Chain A
Amino acid sequence: MTKEEKAELRKAFADIPGTYVFTPEHSRKGYALNIFCMSLNKAENRAEFGKDESAYLDKFDLTAEQKEAVLKRQWLKMLELGGNIYYTFKIAIFDRKSMQHVGGKMSGITEDEFKEMMLSGGRSIIGNRSKKEYEV
């Protein structure tokens, strides 16, 4: 692949609506946030997080904005701040929340509406391939 093709590819990702491709920049930005999420795989860490979320978060090198997004369960914000859904979903598992709950929060609908959408075939790809489609 040529240098130009690689750059084109990256540019094209930004054209996909509502999608945060986990690029190196994204990964660097969200490293501490994602490592915190990863720690919730361990039962003892889940217990400690449950006792005092804020104090537990202080053990990780999160920015103030990231910390706030976690405490307020701002799912979309977490992605914007470098979170990756497979990591941030660990917080939803901790909360006993479903992927449909989180999906609803990220797309501005309720969990039930999200479930209903999935049952009727999912979010349509038509109109969702490119930001350009929004402009027509």
Chain B
Amino acid sequence: MAKIIAGIGCSHVPAVGAASDHGKTEDGYWTPLFAALPAARKWIKDLAPDVLILVYNDHASAFSLELIPTFAIGVAQWFENADEGYGRRQIPNVEGHPELAWHITESCILDGFDLTIANKMDVDHGCSVPLTVFFGEPAAWPVKVIPICVNVIQYPPPTARRCYDLGKAIRKAVEEYDGELKVAIAGTGGMSHQLQGERSGVINTEFDVNYLDNLRDNNDVNRDRSHLEYIREAGSEGIELVMWQIMRGAMNEKVVEKFRKYHVASSNTAFGVICFENAPEEKSAAEIKAMKEPVLVEYANALGITAHVNDLKKDTLEKVLSKLGYS
């Protein structure tokens, strides 16, 4: 069976892609952001997912007001990078995974999520910038991508709750797939930003940091927020954060945070990246105490505790027990 092994939340600021394309990652403005990325890149490289389900929104590139699908899934073999007005980015095209994409489509529709099916869909910065963030500038992207495009421009976008539930349906579909695949899922866009109007440039760091913390530990808060709260608090374009809920719905209720970077500002946006793995199954205190040291160390690391066999076993044990609330 296929399995979801990782969840990502990631801003998709176009200027981040441009900075990478034009060799500006080490100029002062971009240094704080790009200098933080190697740890996230190593994390994804070590996990080596076969497929990345990439949830993003189109920004008047593949879709216009002529046709506005609420959720569209790309089932093609290849997706070209869109010309957003600058000419196409000189980066690899995106290779899809039609077999899994069609499987997800079939499963989700039968389970009540009527996805729009896209056989041809150019992908814009919403899809390509997160690939740049996680993979840099390779000759070909090291992962197959299933793009899922969400309308967040025309009101009303789907609710955070609906997005979360779609994530659950996607996870079920992935686990019902008869093939050994390691799958990662990313929700992109955000964090707080507003591009339009007299309020343009608004940033709400307190909201963003709470969003990230709650995403890990207490996501009901994010899932149950209304459009009004997202727009008021995170800016009219901060509504993109509903897309992160699709990722969250596809993960276990308990997750372990593996990476986080929050940076203000990149262009007009608060840039955020967060990486999760599913928390391991919870063991009883007795089971944990009975673990042999290498097993305990592995378990501790899966819980997000940095542990090594050279550490005192007593210390590792204490950390694990306290993390799970046994002491």
Contact = CB atoms under 8 A, between A and B. Distances in A.
Interface of A: 9, 12-13, 16-24, 26-27, 31, 34-35, 37-38, 40-43, 46, 76, 79, 84-87, 89-90, 93-94, 99-100, 102-103, 106-108, 114, 117-119, 121-125, 128-130
Interface residues of B, number: 45
Interface of B: 15, 59-61, 64-66, 82-87, 153-155, 192-207, 226-228, 231-233, 236-237, 264-265, 267-268, 270
Contact of B65 (A17, A31, A42): A31
B203 A21 contact: no
Given A38-B60, A40-B85, A107 B201 contact: yes
Identify whether the interface residues of B are mostly helix, strand, loop, or mixed: loop
A9 B155 CA distance: 11
A83 B83 CA distance: 20
A122 B199 CA distance: 10
Among the interface residues B60, B231, B233, B264, which one has the most CB atoms of the partner chain A within 10 A? B60
16 contacts: A16-B231, A18-B198, A20-B196, A20-B197, A22-B154, A23-B155, A24-B155, A40-B85, A41-B60, A86-B60, A100-B268, A114-B201, A121-B264, A122-B193, A125-B233, A128-B199
A130 B232 CA distance: 8
Contacts of B264: 118, 121-122
Given A41-B84, A90-B85, A122-B268, 7 more contacts: A12-B228, A22-B153, A107-B198, A114-B201, A118-B264, A122-B264, A123-B199
A87 B60 contact: yes
A123 B203 contact: yes
A86 B270 CA distance: 18
B197 A125 contact: no
Contacts of A103: 195, 200-201, 268
A106 B198 contact: yes
B153 A86 contact: yes
Contacts of B201: 103, 107, 114, 117-118, 122-123
